[in-house]
Amino acid sequence: MLLLIPVIGFTQIPPGYYNSANGLNGEPLRIALYNIIKGHTVLSYTPGLWNAYYSTDKRTDGKVWDIYADIPGGTPAYEYTFGANQCGNGLNHENSCYNREHTWPQSKFNSLSPMYSDLFIVYPTDYYVNGQRADFPYGKAGTPVLKTFTNGSKLGPNTYLGAPATTCFEPIDSFKGDIARNYFYITTRYWADSSSFNDWEMATKVTLKSWTIQMLLEWHHLDPVSQKEIDRNDSVYALQHNRNPFIDYPLYADCIWGTGDCTTSVTNISANRESTIIYPNPTKDIVNIHSLQAIQLIDIMDMQGRVMIHNALETATKNTSLSVVQLPSANYIIKVQDQTGVTTQKLLIQ
């Protein structure tokens, strides 16, 4: 049976953009990606970011994407109109106005440039929720919950294993992957600027702490790359002239901080623009599948060709996840059928 080597590229990736990272793993891969995405075009905080949001964070209905208030696939309690609802200061409740949120708190890099106005760090969010999040770390908010916001985000004591017992902010599941890939970008883009950062609960300067890495990898796998992120990545690239590699190629995160292997799985990332991403690989409990075409069918077979999992999707989608906890540790074949054909890859379940 032919095993295809996964190759990935999205619409706006320049040919050869990631070539210097090919065949690398771990810290050498992180450094190679740093050299690719460093030195971006720096926007002004005002009006640069305000103007950028019109293209980078615009929903399909024209409203503002707000990761602290929106409910993808659902109905948020409120929504904002560009410009009309923009503010520096608002009221002491939600649904007042939107401002600019540094997902990596600016107090942790002393409000220095270029981090201060990097679009991959700064998102438009509800003024009140932004203020309530303050500079708390992200985490798993346990009981007693201090505050729950309208979209389900919450503040509470951080109960994630290994995390310091401080208050944390937990976003809803639909945005956890966005934030994880955002942090992978920051620790990579600013690898050589670590001295500009301060130590805090989630990182030693710009280096993520071990509990942070574990949690963010879980979020990265739980919430695969969405079309929103792909579109935002392309729009930011048009303005800043750098990209978030962990959106373009999610396996990079596993190859740097997890158990992924990019030494043989990546040969020329920009060569094929119609491929399927399967990650994490190896995996223990879940596998994410992302395709540029709508996925219709997924089969997982053992090495003798017996079908162990058959998943015919009721509704075709470009992003889906599949639990594999019921399968014993072994090598398998995963077959993904989309609208253009079938991709077959090797899958290791640990």
Read off the DSSP letter of residue 65.
Answer: -
Residue 258 clears pLDDT 60, i.e. is over it? yes
pLDDT at 77: 97
| From-to residues of CATH 2.60.40.1930 in the chain | 276-350
* pLDDT, tens only, 267-320: 334 333 346 778 888 888 889 888 777 888 999 988 777 889 999 888 888 888
> Helices 26-37 and 173-189: crossing angle, nearest 10°?
80
Look at the chain and count its residues: 350
Query: How far is the C-alpha of 113 from the C-alpha of 117, rounded, in Å?
Result: 7
129 closest CA partner among 88, 101, 159: 101
C-alpha to C-alpha distance for 201 and 211, rounded to whole angstroms: 10
Q: Which residues contact 74 (CB under 8 A, 6 or more apart)?
A: none
pLDDT digits (tens, 9 = 90+) for 166-223: 999 999 999 999 999 999 999 999 999 999 999 999 999 999 999 999 999 999 988 8
Who contacts 143 (Cβ-Cβ below 8 Å, separation ≥6)? Answer: 156, 157
**Torsions phi, psi of 285, nearest 5?**
-140, -25
The amino acid sitting at 219 is: W
Nearest-5° angle of CA 220, CA 224, CA 227?
A: 135
Specify the CATH number of the domain 276-350: 2.60.40.1930
Non-local CB neighbours of 76 within 8 Å, separated by 6+ positions: 66, 69, 70, 150, 151
